[in-house]
Amino acid sequence: MSGRVLAAIAALFLVLGLVAAGTAAAQPAGGDAPSVTIQATPGAGVSTASRDIATGSGAGMAILFWALALGTVGGAAFVLTRRNLIAAVMGMVGTFLALAGLYMMLYASFLAVIQMLVYAGAIMVLFVFVIMVLNRPEDEPWGMVGLPGKALAGLAMLYLLVRLVMLVWSVNVPDTALVAPAAVAFPGDAAHTVYEFGSTAAVGTSLFSDYLFPFEAISILLLIAVVGAIAVARPLNDADELPGAQPPAPTGGH
């Protein structure tokens, strides 16, 4: 039991180690290759106005991508193979963190930070609480049993696989896919401040101008989530606890 938890933590460390190694490998190597000048913009976090960086970091970026891809798939495989649910959640956190790294490679640094804060932080907490609430020794994973069930599951997986392959086949990657998208300018701004695409400031610029109504609608959505949370945990007929459930574990007994 604890061995599996240790294995989960070790896997998490491995993923993070790969991320760190990839980050280090992403350092542009010095050399006398032709260089490009890049104008640093506010929000990019680069202090110097412009820098020359050498080419030759493509291999490092490829290593970074494959390390993160391995971390994502490895974490998912870890989740699938664990019988200990807490260990599975740890594998899921590894997947989330590797995904955050992939988002960062897609110029979505704000999304990457949110991925870490909300998914690796809050959603993980939610999963752990679900496991704690539903924790019963007799709970066995529900599965398709018998030949018809297995045939149905197999067909469903085959359908999913075919659709995925069709999707990958149909996507036509343009040559400019690896070039950073255009920076975002703030509307009505006299100074024409531009922000690096995907940065927090650029996301905010879109959110608070073009997508103002969806932004305000999010607050309604969050309100609905609060009402749902209250409704799902309301007492049934003044009986505070479900019959058979243990009372809340005493806390602070140290």
- 92-131 residues near other proteins, rule: CB under 8 A: 104-105, 107, 109-110, 114, 117-118, 121-123, 125-126, 129-130
Judged by beta carbon, residue 70 or residue 123, the one nearer other proteins is: 123
Give the integer Cα–Cα distance in Å for 97 and 75: 10
Residues between 196 and 225 that touch other proteins (CB under 8 A): 196, 200-201, 203-205, 207-208, 212, 215-216, 218-220, 222-223, 225
> What φ, ψ does residue 33 adopt, rounded to 5°?
-70, 160
Residues 125-150: b if buried by 16+ CB within 10 A, e if exposed: eebeeeeeeeeeeeeeeeeeeeeeee
**Which of 68, 96, 186, 194 is the binder for other proteins (CB under 8 A)?**
186
Q: Is 58 helix (H, G, I), strand (E, B) or coil?
A: helix
Which residue in 237, 228, 201 sits closest to 45, CA to CA? Answer: 201
CA dist 226 → 9, 173, 183, 220 (Å): 32, 41, 36, 10
Residues between 157 and 176 that touch other proteins (CB under 8 A): none
Least distance (Å) between residue 1 CB and other proteins? 10
Residues between 57 and 86 that touch other proteins (CB under 8 A): 57-58, 60-61, 64
Strand partners, 51: 38
Least distance (Å) between residue 62 CB and other proteins? 8
**Which of 73, 77, 133, 166 is the binder for other proteins (CB under 8 A)?**
133
Judged by beta carbon, residue 145 or residue 239, the one nearer other proteins is: 239
Least distance (Å) between residue 145 CB and other proteins? 25
Retrieve residue 51's tokens: 């820098």
